[in-house]
């Protein structure tokens, strides 16, 4: 039997959020994760059900995912936690058993769209902000951990052991 879970997002530079969230889907509650808000101030809800992220990333359906509740979940962040790595941390904020440890993230908390030019070159353009479920708008803000520490694994492990 385990006493807690440590999810290490340090050095996670981002990528496709769908597989990232599917991999840790047992500890992400179903429902709205956050909203993306475009330049016209129109919000789109990013939701999660089972292992499937809707309105962002690749949909990964792992079937009937048993949700794990009431277990402490420590999330490790550092200055190289970026983009979808940061949004994964935001998605985990919806779990009341989560606490973050480490250093501030990179601050790439925005939504980019990629456009392919006629010659094959690609251009990434920032198109949207993030609106957390508490109403806070973040736009290229760093995520501050709950516990700022240079020894996040040790601190996270100690926190988990003291929760039971």
Residue 94 belongs to domain with CATH number: 3.90.226.10
Domain limits for position 79? 5-161
Length of the chain: 164
- Number of structural domains in the chain: 1
Residue with tokens 């359906």: 61
**Does 8 have pLDDT greater than 90?**
yes
Q: What is the CA radius of gyration of the chain?
A: 16
For residues 6-25, give the mean pLDDT.
96
Give pLDDT, residue 164. Answer: 65
Give the pTM: 0.93
For residues 17-34, give the mean pLDDT.
97
DSSP SS3 for 106:
coil
- Of 60, 141, 153, 111, the closest CA to residue 28 belongs to 60
DSSP 8-state code for residue 142: P
Tens digits of residue pLDDT in 63-104: 999 999 999 999 999 999 999 999 999 999 999 999 999 999
């Amino acid at each position: 039997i385990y006493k807690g879970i440590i999810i290490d997002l340090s050095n996670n530079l981002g990528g496709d959020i769908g597989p990232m969230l599917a991999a840790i889907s047992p500890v992400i509650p179903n429902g709205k994760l956050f909203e993306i808000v475009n330049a016209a101030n129109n919000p789109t809800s990013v939701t999660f059900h089972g292992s499937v992220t809707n309105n962002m990333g690749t949909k990964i359906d792992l079937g009937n995912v048993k949700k794990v509740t009431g277990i402490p979940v420590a999330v490790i962040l550092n200055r190289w936690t970026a983009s979808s790595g940061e949004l994964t941390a935001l998605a985990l904020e919806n779990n009341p058993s989560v606490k973050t440890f480490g250093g501030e993230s990179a601050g790439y908390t925005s939504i980019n769209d990629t456009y392919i030019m006629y010659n094959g070159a690609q251009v990434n353009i920032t198109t949207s902000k993030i609106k957390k479920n508490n109403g806070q708008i973040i736009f290229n803000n760093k995520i501050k951990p709950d516990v700022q520490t240079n020894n996040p694994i040790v601190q996270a492990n100690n926190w988990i052991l003291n929760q039971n």
